[in-house]
Chain A
């Protein structure tokens, strides 16, 4: 059982209600319910709307996952749940439900780190992760570079965004271009017909002076404002806004900085493997640019398929499976939802 534990994972840190089931590194089920449509008119995720949706979706999503995997709660070896970081009220729904399942079925519970789970999910597709590895997690809520020495013991943060997350920048730019929400897939599509070299948008925290204190950090707030200024100047001049060119040039600025810093992080740590996760990892330009640049330095890039890059229950189950296999002690029933959970903890200690 220890080598191939059957683990159930619950994810509710943002707007996706996910329940995944894995046996060892094999994905058995990945059920998902999303409240994204309810947030669209607000131009971003509304925490209370997300929390309400989680409560409604949890039981049916769990049932779908169990049916898909052909197992019952009595069969599982452990229940893992995202303990943080994320939206406090949203996390709490998943944590409370996970405790209910663990209590009722008399199973151990693991409160796990959402970011570490984004890394762990890659093992479901690409097998064991060579360690150390560098992980870049880019989503609507996070933009982080991590050094992964041991996925079950601890992860070292190398850098993170100092203002907006990368996905947030996509959302905001999509909105100012009148393209809709969520911005990532829309900008990606719009950029296909544009010239990514047509507008020179700024690359945040890449100047020599910034590299001293912020070598592996990101900043996307200035970029978003630069796009807004550029678009507004055009409008004021009565000229049409070339939406595809703006999309492509903005996307290039984001992907350029992300991949340059990720490769730098690999090289400076002597790491040969880069894992990319989070919703922005689904971006087509990010994947191409990362592969190109990594290849030049003999670095292997691992990116899970898009469905596993965005938030889901499978990633939580995958990390839980690693923890069980490594003999890590489970968390206790009083484990908190921790919206600012740090990366020094991969799971909440028992």
Chain B
């Protein structure tokens, strides 16, 4: 089954062709351009290119998988509008997956924070244990991510990741001692128990990935996987593999916006007479 994967939730425009077999999947071709303002220009030629690379035509596709974000809205919609229109034209199903999950799955074993740039000095983020999302996706200032993760703990805790606030200092210390042999990438000591910045997530995750994690690495204070900045096409397809194999009904591709539109209702009329 030939599947097209599209993602425009980060500065990267990604188009990938992946073959899904009953017991696995293999990447056939992938194109990626990193330019936060050019999704609209870049994505369609990339799709044409991956098909040409493989000597295939659009009608050979079985399904389309699209990253639903979260991501900056304008670029994000390019991938989803393209995926939806192609699916409609070809009469094939479209499946949506969380773009952060693509990174989380590709990050593999362990406890991982995935963060992408949400602009306005914020990140979209989620956390993963062995490739499976346990918190998020959410949007916040990088400095608030650690607090939100600890705060999110509340009652039910996904195994392996979340801890109660009162355990924080212990866990932070333990995380530093056990989890990051090479030490955090950066982070200024500010007198907390473990010498971590207040914003460090070291007690919760072992490492981070995604271009947002790279950009704010000093805030998070854990090692960043610099080779894993954008959602890989094959990982997105893997997340939808069961739906593809089961020929699940096509899905409406609704973006994970996480933020409401900036719009202010007009106030009372301003006087023009002085």
Contacts and interface: CB of A to CB of B under 8 A. Distances in A.
9 contacts: A42-B263, A48-B261, A51-B77, A89-B74, A93-B77, A96-B44, A100-B89, A102-B44, A236-B273
Interface residues of A, number: 46
Interface string A94-118: 1111111111111000000000000
A52 B73 CA distance: 9
Contacts of B205: none
Contacts of B83: 100
Q: Which of A58, A73, A100 has the most CB of B within 10 A?
A: A100
A228 interface: yes
Nearest to B49: A333
Interface stretch (B97-105, B114-122, B264-272): B264-272
B78 interface: yes
B57 interface: yes
Interface string B30-71: 000000000111111101100000000110000000000000
A199 interface: no
Interface of A: 41-43, 46, 48-49, 51-52, 55-56, 58-59, 62-63, 73, 88-89, 92-106, 175-176, 225, 228-229, 232-233, 236, 332-337
Max chain B CB contacts within 10 Å: which of A89, A92, A96, A337?
A: A96
Contacts of B40: 92, 95-96, 336-337
Choose among B42, B57, B272, B273 the residue with the greatest number of A CB atoms under 10 Å from its CB.
B272
Given A62-B85, A100-B83, A333-B48, A42 B265 contact: yes
Contacts of A73: 89
B85 A104 contact: yes
B84 interface: yes
B58 A59 contact: no
Given A49-B263, A232-B273, A336-B40, A58 B84 contact: yes
Contacts of A89: 73-74, 77
B86 interface: yes
A55 B255 contact: yes
B45 A100 contact: no
B100 to A, nearest CB: 20
Nearest to A74: B89
B41 A334 contact: yes
Interface range, B side: 35 or more
Nearest to A73: B89
A62 B86 CA distance: 12
B57 A46 contact: no
Given A51-B74, A55-B80, A334-B45, 15 more contacts: A55-B255, A92-B81, A93-B77, A95-B40, A96-B40, A96-B81, A96-B82, A100-B82, A101-B89, A103-B86, A104-B86, A229-B273, A333-B45, A334-B42, A337-B40
A100 B90 CA distance: 10
A91 to B, nearest CB: 9
Contacts of A59: 84-85, 88, 252
B69 to A, nearest CB: 12
Contacts of A94: 81
Contacts of B81: 55, 58, 92-94, 96-97, 100
B262 interface: yes
A286 B39 CA distance: 42
Given A46-B263, A93-B77, A334-B44, A228 B89 contact: no
Interface in B134-175: none
A333 B273 contact: no
Contacts of A52: 73, 255, 257, 261
A250 to B, nearest CB: 15
Contact of A48 (B84, B254, B262): B262
A225 B82 CA distance: 44
Contacts of A333: 44-45, 48
A194 to B, nearest CB: 21
Contact of B88 (A55, A56, A62, A233): A62
A42 B273 contact: no
In this complex, the member of A88, A93, A335 whose beta carbon has the largest number of chain B beta carbons within 10 angstroms is A93
A147 B171 CA distance: 73
A335 B42 CA distance: 9
Interface string B200-233: 0000000000000000000000000000000000
A48 B73 contact: yes
B74 A100 contact: no
Given A88-B74, A89-B77, A229-B273, A97 B84 contact: yes
Contact of B272 (A55, A97, A232): A232
Contacts of A103: 44, 47-48, 58, 82, 86
A96 B39 CA distance: 9
Contacts of A229: 272-273
A139 B230 CA distance: 42
